[in-house]
Structures are given as structure tokens and as C-alpha cells.
Amino acid sequence: MDSLKVVPELFYDLIARVVPGAVAIYFISTAVQMKSTDFILNALNNVPVLVESSLVIVLIFLGMSYVVGHLLIPLRALSIKIARVVRPAS
């Protein structure tokens, strides 16, 4: 029965952290005029077997998206606090 509780948590992490993290990585890489895969390929430059593996690149991108998604949480909380100061609730 406990395994059924893991599935919603997995989807929550996917939707709430990985998707915003991937979008942030896309916009940051676009802003610096670099492909998002170049970040990963530069890190894996010394190991050519890993560079050729699409699975490794996708897993690293998902991991990076998850971490960036976690880093965006404090920024969201800060933006909400600023919005409440600028435009208080009536």
C-alpha cells in the first residue's frame, strides 16, 4: 500500500521541479547563445563513451533540471513576497 503513495510524489516532482528547471535551462542557454546540450557535452568531454550515449545525456539533463527546479523555489517565494509588498491584498 505504501508503494501507491510514491507514484503521486513522483509526478509532483516531475511537474513541479523538472519541468520548470528544464524551461529555465532552455531560457538561460538561449540567453547565453549556447545549446543546452553543450553544457552536458563539455562536462563529459573526457569520457567519449558517455558523450555518445543518448541515455546518459538525457539522464544528466533531467538531473540538472531537477536541481535547477529546486533552486527556483526560493526565487518563487521571494517574488511572491515582493508582489505582496508592491500590491497588497485588498
Mind giving me the DSSP string for 12-76? Answer: HHIIIIIHHHHHHHHHHHHHTT--HHHHHHHHTTT-HHHHH-HHHHHHHHHHHHHHHHHHHHHHH
Residues, the chain, total? 90
Quote the CA–CA distance of 78 and 74 in Å, as a whole number.
6
Q: What is the pLDDT along the chain (90 residues), one digit of tens a residue?
A: 566 676 777 788 788 888 999 999 889 888 888 877 777 777 777 677 777 788 888 888 899 899 999 999 888 889 888 988 888 766
Model pLDDT, residue 71: 92
Prediction pTM value? 0.74
Confidence (pLDDT) at 21: 92
